[in-house]
Amino acid sequence: MKKVLIIGGTGSWGQELTRQILNNYDVEKIVIYSRGEHKQVDMSRKFNDSRLKFVIGDIRDKSQLKLASMDIDYMFHLAALKHVPVCERNPVETIKTNIEGTQFATEVAIENRIKTFILVSTDKAVDPMNVYGVSKSMAEKIVVSANLKTFNTKFVCIRGGNVLGTTGSVVPLFKEQILKANEITITDDRMTRYLMRLEDAISLLFTAMIDSKGGEVFVMKMPSIHVSDISKLMIKELGNDKTQIKQIGIRPGEKMHEVLVSRYEASRSFEYGDYFVILPTIDINQLYAKWNIKDYLTEEYNSLNNRFLSEDELKENLQKDGWLEKISVKELEKYSKDELLNYFKLENWSRNNQI
């Protein structure tokens, strides 16, 4: 892995991916491509590594993306509008970024003869019932079908569920709510979600990058949790006997339980170590013959029929990333929600000498 481009590289996934590439691979340069100058400056200071190159650009801007991806070997596509209610209110903008932007990225990868293109997708793309899910489902289709247009670039998708502590997840929100208002709001206490630490999720990504043949969707095997279990544990560790839990109802476009492999995909999906692998509905470059699989799944893989984390396992995962460490309300008020995420996560990394 010599030259890498990460689209949307200043986000939670992008920063952890960058850290693992720098620490584990002989890399010549990593180009971080994103829209926000402040996040790029912040990331540059935190990593302080001459191998990082920062380019301001939007995935909607094909010409800028093509320039940024010249002489690149591996392209990771992490950029997306992903907050479900925001996408519901802004469907046209979501289409422009998540669908049209992905099309531009695949075209650029082919034109610049990039070796491997990896899209990070989501469980929301399975049986989609909201704008975000539909857009990511289309993004997967675009990436998979790109394998029909070239033999020079390998296109593969990674599909994951919720990753602990990333931007938009409930963990930083719950911590902020407890420390600021001494209450937590949850949508429905019956709701289940997949959950995995970001470090583990990124590690799995490399396996798919190396082992894929082109055209697959690799699905991370992730344990499940009840959202209410997270709230109760965080109140136990950070709250007090006056901390309240308020149910506010399911948000627009939300599901009660998430699915990573649908019942329609099961008949062409199989287990592969820490993954399930989904083969496309069309045979791309003799992909079925290359895998030569005889035993396929017989049912869908969802967050309700899955293994659930115990309270001790959940606590251990939260502790590893510093989410159960307290901070004074006075200090808390200095940070926005996104800044809080970076503060808790990156302070913990620094203490472990990982950056």
- Residues designated catalytic: 124
Region class of 276: left (phi > 0), else alpha (psi between -120 and 50), else beta:
beta
CA separation, residue 209 to residues 116, 148, 155, 327 (Å): 7, 18, 9, 39
What letter represents residue 60's amino acid? R
Distance, CA of 126 to CA of 236 (rounded, Å): 34
Distance, CA of 104 to CA of 75 (rounded, Å): 13
Distance, CA of 158 to CA of 293 (rounded, Å): 20
